[in-house]
Amino acid sequence: MSVLVHVATTLPDASRFSTLRHAAEQANAKLAFLQGGEPTLTHTLDILHAAGVREVRLQPVSTDNLAYARSWVGRVAGHWYRQQVDPPTIHFGRRTITGREAPLSSAAWDRPPNYRHHLLVCRGPRCSARGADATSRALAQALAQHKLTDEDVLVAQTGCLFPCNHGPIAVVHPEGVWYGPIRPTDAERLVRKHLADGQPLTDLMLDAEHRLPEGET
């Protein structure tokens, strides 16, 4: 028996579960997540292996970065393959997984980077409904524009951080400054002022008493 598996590769895919599952059902495929969602790719492979499936075809979906998908779907599948007794044949595009794929660990991933700021960006359900996807993209673009790397600002996307009424929410550590709502048009100013120049933005802070009027930046 051969089984097609759609592999959702990006972190925001977890919030698109219904859409992705529908697409998988239409293609008579299983759905698995590389990150952020369930079932994970390795758990899906476990289930298929236990069910006696002898051939698996992996197909990355919902990604605009095929190089990333090729690298990480292959690595994770190879990691799983190496740990099995009599694993099924796994096809991934034109490749067949052999177990000789690059490992999941590397000296570069042994320690956290020496970052100055830790930026938590909420991707919970209410922030997502209020536009956290566009805010998150705008923050990433502003970080790139100001040439801030993981050594300057380590970004983590999170589930609900609780003050959903003010979403989209973001938090900057080590200062512990909470911001919200952050609109895409706020992103560049937040990155420039706080993350590059070290000056927190009082008008965007949660519960700021002197919030600027809507549309004013």
Residues binding ligand FES (CB under 6 A): 122, 124-127, 160-164, 167, 169
d(CA 180, CA 167): 6
| Minimum separation from the CB atom of position 170 to ligand FES (A) | 9
| Minimum separation from the CB atom of position 10 to ligand FES (A) | 19
Q: How far is CA 84 from CA 1, 50, 99, 149, in A?
A: 18, 11, 10, 38
| Minimum separation from the CB atom of position 40 to ligand FES (A) | 23
d(CA 30, CA 56): 10
- Can you list the positions of beta strands (E) in 11-94? 30-33, 55-61, 89-92
Angle formed by the axes of helices 41-50 and 66-82, nearest 10°: 40
| Minimum separation from the CB atom of position 191 to ligand FES (A) | 19
169/190 with CB nearer ligand FES: 169
74/124 with CB nearer ligand FES: 124
| Minimum separation from the CB atom of position 168 to ligand FES (A) | 7
d(CA 108, CA 111): 7
| Minimum separation from the CB atom of position 74 to ligand FES (A) | 33
125/200 with CB nearer ligand FES: 125
* Helices and strands in the chain: count of H runs, count of E runs: 6, 9
88/180 with CB nearer ligand FES: 180
d(CA 127, CA 180): 10
113/159 with CB nearer ligand FES: 159
d(CA 90, CA 101): 13
User: Which residue number is nearest to ligand FES in terms of Cβ?
Assistant: 124
153/171 with CB nearer ligand FES: 171
